[in-house]
Chains A and B, each alone.
Chain A
């Protein structure tokens, strides 16, 4: 697995986690991700992630009017998405635990 693939997986998990907190939309996700440190995450990276999650049935999307006027896509997590998120959390924990042990000698 190269860095891009690893990042892609992590991003999907994080975006799914943000959406699991309640119905949200593109700009809000971008801002929340930025606040926790994904400063370079632009819309060019986020939108394909959202499209992928939607196509795989992990999130559902509805279109509605936004307060500023434009048409806006609102995302909600689905039951399959919730399972996927739990799976991702478990896998991520396993990987980081093992990686930390190797890299930093943590027990």
Chain B
């Protein structure tokens, strides 16, 4: 996934500001992800070169940033709207399919035979309604923030949207859960959502297979370049955030030491950070064991209560989720330690502390 926050960190002044605004418009503008990522990567390339040449950002995006966004994210491609609609239906059906399976697995005390069991689709419908309302409201707020306000804090904006979404869901559930039930026979939900989800996946696979060998090779090469680019941007763009955290901790330790009448230097701090870097392997093992316990305990519980099928399904679901989370933990840890190494090395070379180092991003 393209880390546009990291990209914005690598731009400066008016370029950074414009990029952030356009990113917020694209990110919250109900735009297909591949189109949004493609446009943002292209814009980043153009901005980097224009910034290097010292060109004013207006030369690239014009005076009216709102008009630019509308034009830039517009898709004129034939059949795009139909494809986009089908894609959304595919996603929703996959969510319903997974939800129904989880609902089936979690309601282990349900004794009715499978064919008589029902699933309550109310939470899914509620999620969709809250999501749709948020898209509309969010888009209006977004337009105001992006085009009328001068200063913008995208992270804060995304957090507010997330909180509103969770609040909407919790509020909706507590207000209507006892009053509204959308009960549908489980087997019907599983068949319909399963067939549509699988058909959607198959269509995508067939489309990929239909491609010529040359374009497949090109796709593979492009994917590799894209991955390298994303990792590079994430790393370099993330340096500012890592340095910012380091500077905060460095200042805190320095203050504490000074209160005790002691001296605290960059070299002292480097030793502490180095210890953190050295513990990467043990940290990963510890997290791996912890995640393993999260998977094993509920599954063992199911097996003890003799729900073997449920135990197996639950095991697969939990293992899939936990592996994904664990991998992100390991990756995050690796990137962070690499950032520590780079920052410490540069501080040592230039004989500065992390606070000085951070200033280069201003």
Chain A residues within CB distance 8 Å of chain B = 25-27, 30, 34, 40, 42-45, 47-48, 51-52, 55, 62-66, 68-73
Contacts and interface: CB of A to CB of B under 8 A. Distances in A.
B76 A52 contact: yes
A88 to B, nearest CB: 19
B18 to A, nearest CB: 11
Contacts of A70: 41, 44-45, 48, 229, 233
B50 A71 contact: no
A47 B76 contact: no
Contacts of B226: 63, 71
B150 interface: no
Contacts of B61: 42-44
Most A-side CB within 10 Å, residue of B42, B50, B226: B42
Interface of B: 39, 41-46, 48-50, 52, 59-62, 67-69, 71-72, 74, 76-77, 218, 222, 225-226, 228-229, 232-233, 236
Contacts of B41: 70-71
Nearest to B75: A51
A65 B45 contact: no
Contacts of B229: 65, 69-71
Contact of B45 (A34, A62, A71): A71
Contact of A48 (B44, B59, B67, B72): B72
A43 B67 CA distance: 11
A72 B67 CA distance: 24
When A and B form their complex, which 6 residue pairs have the shortest distance between CB atoms, in order from nearest?
A44-B68, A44-B71, A71-B229, A70-B45, A42-B62, A44-B72
Contacts of A63: 222, 225-226
Given A26-B46, A43-B43, A48 B74 contact: yes
A48 B48 contact: no
Contact of B46 (A27, A40, A64, A69): A27
Contact of A42 (B48, B60, B74): B60
Nearest to A26: B46
